[in-house]
Structure 1
Amino acid sequence: MDNVLNHAAEILILIFLVITFLQSGIDKITDWNGNLSWLKGHFKDTPMKGIVPLMLSTVLIAELVAGILCLIGVYQLGTSGESTMAIYGAILSCVALLMLLFGQRMAKDYAGAMTIAVYFIPAIFLVFLLQP
């Protein structure tokens, strides 16, 4: 219990990222065609229009791995205070969010890009908290 209390902020942000990325990844898997169709339209006027399936696959993998690493990080921080998987999950979460931000900016969806910042702030703060 001491580990949970000593790492409460980190664990709470990790849980936030687990929910964010596992839900998003599961949604991409269960509605692949819907997501792909929407994204093809979203990127139709960009230089990225021909690689939408590759981009979607890359983001899907990054999101799922980030979510899983964060979940393992919750367990490790709560049980032993170890933060290795948590920091890997936090960093990969930031990378995934930067990929999403890049895509939104390329599509000139500035409002969508702005919402990515809402997720990026706690993710980068977590990286800061987990630094040795």
Structure 2
Amino acid sequence: MNNTTSILILIFLAITFLQSSYDKLFYWKDNVEWLKGHFANTPLKNQVPLALLNILVLELITGILSVVGCIELFINNGRVFGYYGAVFACITLLMLLFGQRLAKDYDGARTIVIYFIPAILAVYLLN
């Protein structure tokens, strides 16, 4: 199998983003309340629900593209959906990083970098 690394990274991205979007979708109120406090001293303080919805949509798109990309790679060595899943993962993570830096949550920002490394590796491998 020539695409083992790419498939494993896409599975990682799918699990990460689908679980995160599930959490946001089914625990919306809890997430909004926590994030209002997290962003209380930032320009995003009045935009938390809209920002969370934006991230939720991006995470769903990323997770779905990653699953479809994994299947596409496995079935016919296609790379289109996986590539776009990896790109969306990077965009989503950059948005999350921006939010964490804005909130001055440097530990949270550092954690996002850990997820960014395999995402950017997937972009490289699937390009």
Report deviation, 1:69.
0.2
Residue pairs, 1:20-31, within 5 angstroms: 20-31=16-27
SS across alignment from 2:78: coil
In structure 2, the partner of 1:8 is: 4
Paired residues, number:
127
Q: Aligned partners of 1:48, 1:57: CA distance in 2, in Å?
A: 13
SS across alignment from 1:9: helix
Q: Aligned partners of 2:112, 2:68: CA distance in 1, in Å?
A: 24
AA paired with 1:107? A
Report deviation, 1:121.
0.2
Alignment match of 1:59 (pick from 48, 51, 55): 55
AA paired with 2:18? L
Q: Aligned partners of 1:113, 1:7: CA distance in 2, in Å?
A: 30
Instruction: Indicate yes or no: 2:111 matched with 1:115.
Output: yes
SS across alignment from 2:61: helix
Q: Aligned partners of 2:90, 2:43: CA distance in 1, in Å?
A: 24
Q: Please list the CA deviations of residues 77-100 of structure 1 after superposition, one character each: whole Å capped at 9, or x if unmatched.
A: 000000100000000000000010
In structure 1, the partner of 2:76 is: 80
Point out where structure 1 has 5 or more consecutive residues left out of the alignment: none
Alignment match of 2:35 (pick from 35, 39, 56): 39
Report deviation, 1:42.
0.2
Q: Which runs of 4+ in 1 moved over 6 A?
A: none
TM-score by structure 2 length?
0.99
TM-score by structure 1 length?
0.95
Q: Aligned partners of 2:68, 2:122: CA distance in 1, in Å?
A: 15
